[in-house]
Structure 1
Amino acid sequence: MDLLAQPGVTHDVRRAETSRLFAEAAVLSGRRRDQCLDEVVVLNTGVACAVARRYRGRGIADEDLQQVACLALVRAVRRFDAGHDRDFLAFAVPTMSGEIKRYFRDHGWMVRPPRRVQELRARALALRSSTREDELPLGDHDLAARLEVGVEDLREALGASGCFSPDSLDRTTGDQPHLEMADPGSEGAMDSLEARVTLGPLLRVLDERERVIVQLVYAEGWLQREVAEHLDITQAQVSRLLVRILTKMRERAGLDLTPAAA
């Protein structure tokens, strides 16, 4: 526990100690296992605070952001499978970011469009994504006719994309989203991150509807049942789509991107 009390623990030391604690917890049970996992939480609390600081000044109190991030850290520690050869922060940081974005969606200033707009937008994106590569893209009038809706209603739905995820919640490289792993032990850590997993190149292999699903699940932290309701399909269909999406992405990234199922 002396290590955990030392300020300014470096990324390498934190990573090594976290791996040691997970390995120790794997062969323990009961209270002793829980104690090891609690030490992992304490050791990485600074990371949670650094992730929370990334979203300051956007209408949610700093204390609330830190609480959300820390609770997500606890859940990440309990869910992490140390049997995989991967860094814990590569799993925990996207989990914490997703929970904070979910909190903004539910409690912050972001306004979700009406249900009818969400449903129309999902139908329009799905129809556009089904167009063959050798066909011309559907214009607004053709798309509206196929959906049997007015052109203005269609444009309202397509223009509502900004309501789902405000640009100010994400820092991006170019036009592509990314996940960041922070080392809060160094000055200006959130501006000079030690590791970055860039998803942009992977998204190019997906069609438009698949990219929408990735946006909802991984950028905004939606559960599969929420995506199913939003797209007006079953949760089983969402699961099958995610399997197809993850198969494409894993071939190039080698990441565990499995989302929460419930």
Structure 2
Amino acid sequence: MTATTHVETTTDSDTELPQITNPQKMAPNDARAMSRLFFERLAVLEEGTREYQYARNTLIEMNMSLVRFAAGRFRSRSEDMEDIVQVGTIGLIKAIDRFEVSREVQFTSFAVPYIMGEIKRFFRDTSWSVHVPRRLQEARTELAKATEELSTRLGRTPKVSELASLMDLTEDEVIDAQMAANGYTAASLDAALGIDADDGEVTLSEFIGEDDPALELVEDFHALAPLIADLNERDRRILHMRFVEELTQAQIGTELGVSQMHVSRLITRILARLRSGMLSLETPS
């Protein structure tokens, strides 16, 4: 059955576009015909106007069936279908913004590669636990095939030189691919590695990593920000010149038209105020 689409002619003579109720429910044939009309108007409308936004948004909704069709090819993947549709919609929008009616190409033929490309890029960028360059992602696949082939043929784990010869790569490139392969999956820091007689379950986090002293700086900067915001404009300017621009006290004095000694007193006073504020935050109420 063909879906029924409610179309009302607009009363705005500037747009000459029909007002469409539920454009996503349009039959594919109707959507193709109506899309051409909307593209022709979109090409002459001024970007940013209400009419332009209506034409563009309606084109997106009318052609969402293309996104759902493309997304349906990935139903077997573990990712949420809603996420795939959202990513495919980005490809649809790019296609709409770049399509030209004068090319005499069907919009569906033009849009599907954009939609599929965006979805495939999504899988490529999210399937890896650690993002690595695309060339290394592709090399990992070839490395797995070459390793399996040589292992079967040689009856042992192949050497880097043997893999390089089969893959027509340098040994350094093979090593890069092997290292990149480690980024495909990640182990949880809470993963159990075994049972200790004294401490019980032993996790991965106990063997890697250490406290980062720089994290304390992040907390300090976060606490310091509102205290600096409470300073007057001149005091903030002095701090900026001294600790951001790294000017000397003499140079700051020249900028402010005061003596170096006076600048020294001002900086001491400002820092004392900030220090007091920081200490008060650390003191339990």
- Name the TM-score class by shorter chain: 0.3 to 0.5
Task: Return the TM-score normalized by structure 1.
Answer: 0.43
Task: Return the TM-score normalized by structure 2.
Answer: 0.40
Largest Rg, 1 or 2: 2
- Which one has more relative contact order, counting CA pairs under 8 Å at least 6 apart? 1
